[in-house]
Amino acid sequence: MSSLHAGGYPQEQVRARAREGAATVFPPAAAYGHELFGAAPQPVPGDGGDVLEATRLVPPAFMPLRLEKLIELGREPLYQDVELATEVGGFAAALPVYVSAFGSTQVASRDLGIAAGRQAARLGIPMVIGENVGPVNGTGRLGEKEGRTLLGRIAAYQDELAGPGGGIAVQQSTEDADAEIWNLIYSDTSVQPLLESGRLAFELKVGQGAKPGLGGMTLVDRESACRLEQQYAVEPLLPDAAGERTVLRSSCPGTFTEEILAHQVRLMRNNFPRARIWVKLPPSRDVRSAAATAWAAGADAVTVDGAEGGSGWAPVSFLGSVGLPLAECLRRVAPAPGQCLLASGRMWEGARAVKALAAGATAVGLGRAALLAVDEDPQAGLERLVQALALELRLITSALGKYRPADLGPEDLWHPDAAQWSAERRPEPVGR
């Protein structure tokens, strides 16, 4: 186990789940019959609280779907009867969960990504490989850096695939969308099994939750800065200290208009007809129109990274003050039936996941939670984390009188602000 830092994230709870799995869903077994348990205090809305956390899940008294299930099964339905299998961006998935791209280049260059990929494949859930893996570690076409390369990551995932679920999405930012990475992957013989089974996607990254409106930002040393200054903006942050990373490298944020985004998606569809097409959006005020543009152009999935999501290098002020919270992104997008919306942002346990699904998401992404889990146990940490999450998904969905994630809806949510999850979603003003 390393000293992987996760800021104010509930990392101890995540690490416990990576060690102990489904047992952590309940209070300690030794406390049964000896202690009293009550509801935990909820965050105060309007006081910096997370809207998803302040929202409650509200089961009904009358459950017609439970009656239908009883008739179907010929017995009283149980939580084990909840079917979690979901289509995620054109992929079959064992449950409505995927592994998000890891935002830090240093984290991505370690073996954690390989461990996460192997476990995600065994779980039958999709995984996104971040935009920085190819440039930082190489594509692997010439065997450089072996497993840590882009093709090495894909191979590690492929080697563990057994059932029908899962798939790989290879991410590139809008500024790099015309680079050769996707072409190299699409034409590489080692990736053909994924293409033939319909389990390869390319994700166009328009932005992320950590720094909406900004391009990629990393720290480099002065020698690297001299090589990069013709392509990127570079600015010293600290006096140089023995080659340490003290220079800020910034890039352009990318897509500028609806027409450009639509053109990029259509170009991807034309150039890579056998691959699924995903688009990742930042938590922007016009996220509704951006998602609609992507879907209209033919995207198989749209990913929304709430301001709570994203672990990339960003100004401290951005982390707490810039970008829409995930709950508001979900409220504004409000996907129509058949539109696949993937949501990420502090996902690690079942209640938050079910809230996001009820608010319109098709599946939720594990980012920091997945990293912490494989950091705790590279062999099975992510599998145990997901086992605990799957148990909670079944328990809560059943409690709501439903038996598929797709049946969840705004009626299952309550917030002190009654308009927060209104079935009648209001689009945001255009051009403001």
pLDDT at 427: 46
Taking residues 93-120, report their average pLDDT: 82
Residue 29 lies in a domain: no
**CATH number of the domain within which 84 lies:** 3.20.20.70
The Cα 259–Cα 379 span in angstroms is: 45
Tell me how far CA of residue 283 lies from CA of 11, 314, 319, 324, in angstroms. Answer: 24, 15, 12, 5
Q: Do residue 381 and residue 368 come from a single domain?
A: yes
Higher pLDDT, residue 67 or 309: 67
Q: Do residue 246 and residue 265 come from a single domain?
A: no
Say yes or no to pLDDT of 13 above 60.
yes
Residues 6+ apart with CB under 8 A from 327: 50, 51, 52, 55, 306, 359, 420
pLDDT at 313: 72
Residue 311 lies in a domain: yes
**Is there a contact between 84 and 94 (Cβ–Cβ < 8 Å)?**
yes
Question: What size, in residues, is the chain?
Answer: 432
Residue 47 lies in a domain: no
Q: Do residue 164 and residue 233 come from a single domain?
A: no
Residue 350 lies in a domain: yes
pLDDT at 426: 44
Q: Do residue 293 and residue 392 come from a single domain?
A: yes
The Cα 104–Cα 209 span in angstroms is: 13
Say yes or no to pLDDT of 37 above 80.
no
pLDDT at 177: 66
The Cα 58–Cα 163 span in angstroms is: 35
430 band by pLDDT with thresholds 50, 70 and 90: very low
The domain containing residue 223 runs over which residues? 217-250
Say yes or no to pLDDT of 196 above 70.
yes
Taking residues 11-31, report their average pLDDT: 94
The Cα 166–Cα 99 span in angstroms is: 10
Per-residue pLDDT tens for 279-320?
A: 999 999 999 999 999 999 999 999 998 888 766 677 888 877
pLDDT at 7: 60
∠ CA 111-277-281, rounded to 5°: 75
Q: Other CB atoms closer than 10 Å to residue 334's CB: what's the count?
A: 18
Say yes or no to pLDDT of 12 above 80.
yes
| Bridge partners, 301 (sequence order) | 278
**Is there a contact between 400 and 59 (Cβ–Cβ < 8 Å)?**
yes
pLDDT at 159: 95
Write down the residue that tokens 């049964």 correspond to: 32
Q: Do residue 240 and residue 129 come from a single domain?
A: no
Per-residue pLDDT tens for 70-83?
A: 999 999 999 999 99
Share of the chain above pLDDT 70, in %: 86
Say yes or no to pLDDT of 166 above 70.
yes
The Cα 403–Cα 423 span in angstroms is: 21
Residues 6+ apart with CB under 8 A from 222: 236, 240, 243, 246, 247
Q: Do residue 293 and residue 325 come from a single domain?
A: yes
Residue 309 lies in a domain: yes
Q: Do residue 394 and residue 406 come from a single domain?
A: yes
pLDDT at 332: 95
Residues 6+ apart with CB under 8 A from 408: 354, 357, 358, 397, 400, 402
Q: Do residue 379 and residue 232 come from a single domain?
A: no
Helical pair 381-399 and 112-123, crossing angle rounded to 10 deg = 40
Q: Find the range with the poorest average confidence among 8-12, 229-233, 275-279.
A: 229-233
Residue 45 lies in a domain: no
Taking residues 164-181, report their average pLDDT: 86
pLDDT at 432: 33
**Six token digits for residue 66:** 């439970």
221 band by pLDDT with thresholds 50, 70 and 90: confident
Q: Do residue 148 and residue 265 come from a single domain?
A: yes
Q: How many domains does the chain have?
A: 2
pLDDT at 252: 75
Q: Do residue 236 and residue 333 come from a single domain?
A: no
Say yes or no to pLDDT of 122 above 50.
yes
Q: Do residue 236 and residue 312 come from a single domain?
A: no
Task: Collapse the DSSP code of 208 into the 3-class scheme (helix H, G, I; strand E, B; otherwise coil) and give the result.
Answer: coil
395 band by pLDDT with thresholds 50, 70 and 90: very high
Query: Which residue stretches of 21-84 are H helix?
Result: 51-54, 64-73
Write down the residue that tokens 């991410």 correspond to: 171
**Is there a contact between 219 and 244 (Cβ–Cβ < 8 Å)?**
no
Q: Do residue 207 and residue 223 come from a single domain?
A: no
Residue 423 lies in a domain: no
Torsion sign over Cα 386, 388, 391, 393: negative
Taking residues 388-399, report their average pLDDT: 98
Residue 313 lies in a domain: yes
Higher pLDDT, residue 209 or 107: 209
431 band by pLDDT with thresholds 50, 70 and 90: very low
Q: Find the range with the poorest average confidence among 195-204, 298-307, 341-350, 412-421.
A: 412-421
Taking residues 141-156, report their average pLDDT: 78
**pTM for the full predicted model:** 0.91
